C-alpha cells in the first residue's frame, strides 16, 4: 500500500515540478524518497523493499568498490557470434556477487551522443567500413543507463581488457530462459560515498550484479540487456 501511495504522489509531484520548479528532493519515512532534476524523476523505495525471502541472497549489496571475484570467472571467446563472454571456472551458488558495472561517467545524453558518434567513426576506419549507424558497430554495446536516460556508465574501454573479468563482459540472454542466469540491481549510494577513489563512480547510482541461480562449472554468465538495448537492432539480437 505504501509503495502505491508513493507512486501516486510521484505522479503529482512530477506534474507540479514540470510547471513550477527545476529541481526538488524529498525524503519519507522508511528510507523512501523522491527527486526531480533535469527532467528526470527518481523514486527510491523504502529500505527493505526487496524480497524478505531468506533465499534471496542478493538482497545485500556490498560496499562500493568491492571487487568482482576475478579468480572464479574468466573471459574467453564463446565461439559464437557473441564474441567474448564470461564463464565460471568453478560452480557458483545462487546470489554470488559478480561486481559493480565499471565505466566512465557520462552525465548527459548530448555527451553520450558525441562520444558514440566519434566511436562509430573510429570503428568504421579500423574495420574499413563506412557507417554512421550506431547499431552497425559495437559503439553502444557497453553503455549502461543509470537513471532513465540522463546519466550513463560507458564500459567500452574496460570491456577491451579481457584479461580480468568485470560485469561489462557479461553477454545477453532473454529473461526467463535457462541461459539468463544473472540479475542486476540499480542501487543508490549513500550520500557520503559518492566516489570509489578513482573518479569512476561520481554518481548517486550504481549497478550491482549477482547470479540468479546456481551456476555450473564452465557455464557462461548472462543477463537480460532489456528492450531498449535492442531497439533498432532487433535483427542483431543474439
pTM of the prediction? 0.69
Same domain, residue pair 80 and 7: no
Same domain, residue pair 153 and 94: yes
Paired strand residues for 99: 209
| Residue range of the domain that includes 21 | 1-48
Query: Which residues of the chain are under the pLDDT cut of 70?
Result: 1-59, 126-140, 188-204, 230, 232-238
Q: What pLDDT is attached to residue 132?
A: 45
Same domain, residue pair 9 and 88: no
Q: What pLDDT is attached to residue 99?
A: 95
- Per the listing, cell 527545476 goes with 22
Give me 21's grid cell: 520548479
How do 97-100 and 205-211 pair as beta strands? antiparallel
Same domain, residue pair 42 and 148: no
Residue 44 contacts residue 33 (beta carbons within 8 Å): yes
How much helix, strand and coil, in percent to the nearest 5, is found in the chain? Answer: 25, 25, 50
Q: What is the DSSP letter of 107?
A: -
Q: Is 109 left (phi over 0), alpha (psi -120 to 50) or beta?
A: alpha
Residues 6+ apart with CB under 8 A from 79: none
Q: What pLDDT is attached to residue 97?
A: 95
Q: How many domains does the chain have?
A: 2
Q: What pLDDT is attached to residue 27?
A: 67
Residue 215 contacts residue 221 (beta carbons within 8 Å): yes
Is 124 contained in some domain?
no
Same domain, residue pair 151 and 217: yes
Residues 6+ apart with CB under 8 A from 158: 102, 103, 142, 166, 168
CA triplet 186, 191, 193: central angle to 5 degrees?
A: 80
Q: What is the DSSP letter of 92?
A: B
Is 90 contained in some domain?
yes
Q: What pLDDT is attached to residue 202?
A: 46
Question: For residue 219, what is the domain's CATH number?
Answer: 2.170.270.10
Amino acid at each position: 500500500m505504501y509503495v502505491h501511495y508513493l507512486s501516486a504522489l510521484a505522479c503529482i509531484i512530477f506534474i507540479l515540478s514540470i510547471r513550477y520548479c527545476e529541481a526538488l528532493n524529498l525524503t519519507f519515512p522508511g528510507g523512501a524518497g523522491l527527486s526531480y532534476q533535469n527532467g528526470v524523476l527518481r523514486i527510491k523505495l523504502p529500505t527493505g523493499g526487496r524480497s524478505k525471502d531468506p533465499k534471496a541472497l542478493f538482497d545485500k549489496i556490498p560496499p562500493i568498490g568491492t571487487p568482482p571475484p576475478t579468480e572464479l570467472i574468466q573471459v574467453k571467446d564463446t565461439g559464437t557470434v557473441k564474441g567474448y563472454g564470461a564463464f565460471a571456472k568453478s560452480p557458483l551458488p545462487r546470489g554470488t556477487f559478480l561486481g559493480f558495472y565499471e565505466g566512465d561517467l557520462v552525465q548527459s545524453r548530448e555527451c553520450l551522443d558525441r562520444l558514440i558518434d566519434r566511436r562509430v567513426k573510429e570503428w568504421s576506419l579500423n574495420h574499413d567500413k563506412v557507417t554512421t549507424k550506431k547499431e552497425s558497430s559495437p559503439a553502444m554495446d557497453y553503455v549502461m543507463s543509470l537513471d532513465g536516460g540522463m546519466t550513463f556508465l560507458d564500459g567500452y574501454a574496460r570491456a577491451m581488457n579481457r584479461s580480468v573479468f568485470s560485469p561489462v563482459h557479461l553477454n545477453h540472454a532473454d529473461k526467463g530462459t535457462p541461459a539468463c542466469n544473472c540479475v542486476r540491481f540499480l542501487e543508490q549510494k549513500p550520500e557520503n560515498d559518492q566516489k570509489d577513489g578513482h573518479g569512476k563512480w561520481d554518481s548517486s547510482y550504481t549497478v550491482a550484479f549477482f547470479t540468479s541461480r546456481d551456476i555450473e562449472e564452465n557455464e557462461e554468465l548472462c543477463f537480460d540487456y532489456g528492450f531498449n538495448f535492442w531497439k533498432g537492432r532487433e535483427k542483431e539480437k543474439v
